Structure 1
Amino acid sequence: MTKYEIMFIVSTQISEEEKKETIEKVEKTLTRYGATELVTEIMGDKKLAYPIKKKENGYYVLTKFVMDGTQLVEVETKLNIVETILKYMIVRNEK
């Protein structure tokens, strides 16, 4: 099992409840495909370096988890259809 991090940016033009639902959706997707030891850190609203989908600000969330890397393709497939996520990146955590 390998340690990973996913940083995702949620639209700020949705309600706080919808933001929480999006975070829960990401966590449920990860656990469905075998992720364990989930630790989520909400970084809050920040200005984007460049506009994404015509948005200037985003709600940043970082989740650390342990998972078999072969399942990442399925996770990314599910995350690509979540409309409230502007952008995400999954990286391997070497620490």
Structure 2
Amino acid sequence: MRPYEAVVVLTPTLESEEAYESLVARLQKVIADGGGLLRAVERWGRRRLAYPIERHHDGYYVLLQFDSEPAVTKELDRVLRITDAVLRHLVVRRHEDAEDQAPEAVAVGEEGSPEP
């Protein structure tokens, strides 16, 4: 299995917090049904968009980190494309050593630049 991340921007016009939770649960189910392992779900909440999308100026952001086979990402992409509440999404493969490369682990030299 390979590590992946998906960032999803949902429309801000959903009725309630339960509607957002049901959409996130649906995405988690797609990953689980394909044999994927969900690592983390981060709900970033409602944030301002850099530019309007479909006349929306805000969006509800969700980050999913998971391990799966490539076929699961294709199915997740298909589901995200046909879901009306999704404004934008991006599914990318994470570097396999992403957990070991935490930003806090970078040593900084005296001039403020990272040491080689």
Which aligned runs of 4 or more in structure 1 are off by greater than 2 angstroms? none
Instruction: Give the greater-gyration-radius structure (CA).
Output: 2
Aligned position for 2:4: 4
Deviations 1:6-32 (A, max 9, x none): 000111111211111111111111111
Give, in whole Å, the separation in 1 of the partners of 2:31 and 2:79: 10
| 1:71 shift after superposition | 3.0
Any stretches of 5+ residues in structure 1 without a counterpart? none
Q: Which runs of 5+ in 2 are unaligned?
A: 99-116
Q: Distance in 2 between matches of 1:70 and 1:42?
A: 25
Higher strand fraction (1 or 2): 1
TM-score scaled by length of structure 1:
0.92
Q: Is 2:54 aligned against 1:65?
A: no
The alpha-carbon deviation at position 74 of structure 1 amounts to 2.0
Distance 1:50 1:62 in 2: 20
Of stretches 67-76 and 2-11 in structure 1, the one that deviates more from structure 2 is: 67-76
Could you say which structure has the greater relative contact order, defined with CA pairs below 8 angstroms and 6 or more residues apart?
1
